[in-house]
Amino acid sequence: MSVNDTPHRRLNLLTGEWLLVSPHRAKRPWQGETAPAERAVPASHDPGCHLCPGNMRATGEANPDYEGTFVFANDFAALLPEADVPAQHDLFQAMPARGEARVICFAPDHGTTMARMEPDAIAQVVDCWCAQSAELGGRWAHVQLFENKGAMMGASSPHPHGQVWASDFVPELVAREDARQRAFADARGEVLLDAVADAEIAAGERMIEANAHWLAVVPYWAAWPFETLLIARDPVARLEDLDVAARAALADILPRLLQRYDGLFDCDFPYSMGWHGAPHELGKDTEHWRLHAHFLPPLLRSATVRKHMVGFELLAETQRDLTPESAAERLRAVVVK
């Protein structure tokens, strides 16, 4: 009996967490929630959008008539440069959390997405990501760049945009990835994600897209049904380490991956994605790190049925029905332009 037919557990090499895979459950009938499909493509300019060029934001400040990427300080930032925590009961621990947050508008076109943007426009986003990581990393411990796409993922606006949160602490998931990658390098004398990339290329069954500088796979330990991992194939630990060729290759592979998502259920595919690079507090101690991005989409069976992390997942351990191998096969079958 193969792993595609029987319940089993898989280890997430980046976090050390186990997850349960139950392939036989993919056949169960569905009478649960069906969410509305993402609406039709919006107009290229929305006078009521707080992110469109020339429009007023919630603070009353006007956006410039930008033509490429546009970055501004988040008007409702989750982190502030100055913060303090009053004394607590000795049983309940707290500590200040300082930082800053920004919004990155990917393009002036309100109705586009990264899947539909031209490579040169995506190249501007890539350069912006790299610049933000370098600048904010010069004064904060960690820089987290991410995008929430679609109402299903809680995006407050359909305008193509992402965020960057820089903090004086290294968040839990990133700290866990750092520890796991360091331990692997110490024990094996090689970079964890380099070894993963080599194994995935050799196996081929979970690969989605590849070029000379990047590899996109449904990771062996994927938690979300169509989760993907985008791994840098060059020895780089942070976005700002990418050379001109790697940046151009990233601008090429990103829309191809995202067009596979859109084509899977013929919809504007929602997701959360984010970059994980070596925390800047490490300085130059980054040989164990490899830059990568996580794409975490919620859709399960169609444009209207999503995966819910509930019950066993919340109380015991992450669980999935569709195997990563099956998910990869379905994504590879999508025709991209």
Catalytic residue numbers read: 161
Name the nearest CA neighbour of 297 among 332, 333, 258, 335: 258
DSSP string of 274-329, one letter each residue: EEE---GGGTT--TT---EEEEE--B-SSSS-B----THHHHT-EEESS-HHHHHH
* Contact present, 136 and 73 (Cβ < 8 Å): no
User: CB of 295 within 8 A of CB of 227?
Assistant: yes
CB of 223 closer than 8 Å to CB of 19: yes
Q: For residue 335, give the DSSP letter.
A: -
Residue 151 vs residues 154, 159, 166, 168, 203: alpha-carbon distances, Å: 5, 11, 24, 30, 36
Rounded distance between C-alpha atoms, residue 261 and residue 161, angstroms: 18
C-alpha to C-alpha distance for 281 and 249, rounded to whole angstroms: 28
Nearest to 52 by CA among 103, 108, 102, 122: 108
CA distances 10 to 178, 220, 231, Å, are 20, 7, 20
Of 334, 300, 235, 263, give the one whose Cα is nearest residue 116. 263
SS3 30: coil
According to DSSP, the residues that pair with 20 across neighbouring strands are 9, 319
